[in-house]
Amino acid sequence: MFIDSVEVTVSSGRGGAGCVSFRREKYVPQGGPDGGDGGDGGDLIFTVDNNTDTLSRYRGHHRFKAQNGEQGGSHNKTGRSGEDLILKVPAGTQVFDVASGEMLLDLTETGASALLLKGGRGGLGNARFKSSTNQHPVYAQKGLPGDERVVRLELKLIADVGLVGFPNVGKSTLISAVSAAQPQIADYEFTTITPSLGVVTVDQYRSFVMADIPGIISGASGGRGLGLQFLRHIERARVLLFMLDTAGQRSLNKQYDHLKNELGGYSTELSKRLFAIAFSRVDADPSGAAERVEKFLKKLDLHPVSPLLFGENRLYEYEADDFGNQPAFAMPISAVTGFNIAKLIFRLDRLISKVKSGENRC
C-alpha cells in the first residue's frame, strides 16, 4: 500500500482583546463603561471532501491559520469573530500529532467534519466589569491565544492508473515526466525493483495517482521476474495503462498478448480491468514507430482517428466510444520529448472520472 504524507503547521485564531471605553455624550456627565468584547478566534476544522483524492494541495504550503478575532469597540460593540479555517482532505485521511505520534483524527466518511483546534476566546470588554462597587472599571481582558500544532496528514492511496509493461519500455520515465515521483531510470531491464507512486496534477483542482511497478515479463504470473509480487499493488487500480514499446526488440502485438496473458494468469478480475494503451518512445525511431502502430491497430481491428504528425511521420491513435474488451484509447507518446503527454493526462483523467462516476452509482 502506498502512503501519501505531508507535514503542516496548523493554528486556530487568537481571540480579540476586549475594549476599555466610557460613554462620552453631551448632557451625560458620568457615562459608564461601554467597551465591547473581543471576537473569538476562528476554529481549525478538517472536513472530508469528495472531490479530492490526494493531499497534493497541501504540498508546498506549510502553515494554515484560522483568522484572529477582532478587538471589541466602544459603544458595546463586540469585535468580529475570526473566520474558521476549513481544510478539505480526501476520505481516509488520518491526522497525527508530529511531536507525540498520537492519531488526532481519523477521517473516513465523506462529508464528515471534525474540529481540531478551537479558536481562542475573545476578551471581555470593560462594560462587563461594572459593578456596584466599581462603576468605572479601567481594564478589559486580552483575547486568549489560539492553539498551534504540527501535524502529519497521511492518506493510504489506491492508484487510479497502474502502468504495466515489459521492462525498459519507459514506465518510470513517464511517471517522472508527469509527477514529482523520481524513480530510477536506466537503459536496462528491471531498473525498477520497488513500486513508486506519483500524483499527476491535471489542473488546479484535479489530480490522480499513477503507480509505476517493475516490468512484467512472460511467465510473471507463474513467478518469473519481479512482476507478479507487484501486481497486487495495482490490483485495485481503477485503470491500467499498457505501455508498449515502439523502439525495442519485441513487436507491439507480442507485448500486448503477453501482458494480457500475464494479467489473466494473475487474476481474471485484473484482466477485465478497464485499460488503455500508450505506444512509448516514438521519438527513438519515428518512422519505425509509425509503421508498427499502424500495423498493430489494424491487427486488433481498432479504427484509428486522424493521424498526428511527428516530423514527417504519421502516427495514428485510436479512441473508443464504447470499450468492452478493447482499449479505451491507444496513443503514441514520448515521455522524453513530451509528445502527446498532455493529451494522455487529459484522457486518463476523463477515463478515471468515468469509472468513478460509475462507482458512485452503485
Which residues are near ligand GTP by CB under 6 A?
165, 167-173, 185-187, 189-192, 214-215, 280-281, 283-284, 334-336
Which of the choices ligand GTP, Mg ion, none does residue 64 contact, using the CB cut-off of 5 to 8 A by kind? none
Q: Tell me the C-alpha distance between 281 and 340, whole Å.
A: 11
3-class SS string, 269-315: HHHCCCEEEEEECCCCCHHHHHHHHHHHHHHCCCCCEEEEEECCEEE
Paired with 25 in beta bridges are 28
Instruction: Report the C-alpha dihedral over residues 203, 347, 197, 85, rounded to 10 degrees.
Output: 30
User: Which grid cell is 244?
Assistant: 508498449
Which of the choices ligand GTP, Mg ion, none does residue 308 contact, using the CB cut-off of 5 to 8 A by kind? none
Which of the choices Mg ion, ligand GTP, none does residue 186 contact, using the CB cut-off of 5 to 8 A by kind? ligand GTP
Given the complex with ligand GTP, which of 50 and 182 has the nearer CB atom? 182
Which of the choices ligand GTP, Mg ion, none does residue 283 contact, using the CB cut-off of 5 to 8 A by kind? ligand GTP
Q: How far is the CB of 333 from ligand GTP (least distance, A)?
A: 7
User: Which grid cell is 83?
Assistant: 473566520
47, 76, 191, 261: residue in contact with Mg ion (rule CB under 5 A): 191
Given the complex with ligand GTP, which of 110 and 229 has the nearer CB atom? 229
Which of the choices ligand GTP, Mg ion, none does residue 334 contact, using the CB cut-off of 5 to 8 A by kind? ligand GTP
> Given the rule CB under 5 A, which of 51-59, 99-107, 135-143, 186-194 is the region that contacts Mg ion?
186-194
Paired with 7 in beta bridges are 152
DSSP assigned state of 241: E
> Given the rule CB under 5 A, which of 43-51, 76-84, 184-192, 279-287 is the region that contacts Mg ion?
184-192
Q: How far is the CB of 243 from Mg ion (least distance, A)?
A: 10
Asked if 43 contacts 117 with a C-beta cutoff of 8 angstroms, the reply is yes
Q: How far is the CB of 348 from ligand GTP (least distance, A)?
A: 17
Site string for Mg ion, 145-174 (x = CB under 5 A): ---------------------------x--
Given the complex with Mg ion, which of 76 and 191 has the nearer CB atom? 191
- Nearest by Cα to 209 from 24, 56, 26: 56
CA 104 to chain centre: 21
> Given the rule CB under 5 A, which of 42-50, 191-199, 223-231, 252-260 is the region that contacts Mg ion?
191-199
Cα→Cα distances 108→91, 114, 155, 259, 352, Å: 5, 11, 10, 35, 21
Given the complex with ligand GTP, which of 187 and 312 has the nearer CB atom? 187
Which of the choices ligand GTP, Mg ion, none does residue 120 contact, using the CB cut-off of 5 to 8 A by kind? none
3 state DSSP class of 326: coil
End-to-end CA separation in angstroms for the chain: 25
Question: Does position 192 bind Mg ion by CB under 5 A?
Answer: yes
Asked if 117 contacts 147 with a C-beta cutoff of 8 angstroms, the reply is yes
Q: Tell me the C-alpha distance between 6 and 86, whole Å.
A: 17
Given the complex with ligand GTP, which of 91 and 336 has the nearer CB atom? 336
Longest dimension (CA), the chain: 101
Q: How far is the CB of 163 from ligand GTP (least distance, A)?
A: 8
Question: Does position 47 bind Mg ion by CB under 5 A?
Answer: no
- Positions in the binding site for Mg ion (CB under 5 A): 172, 191-192
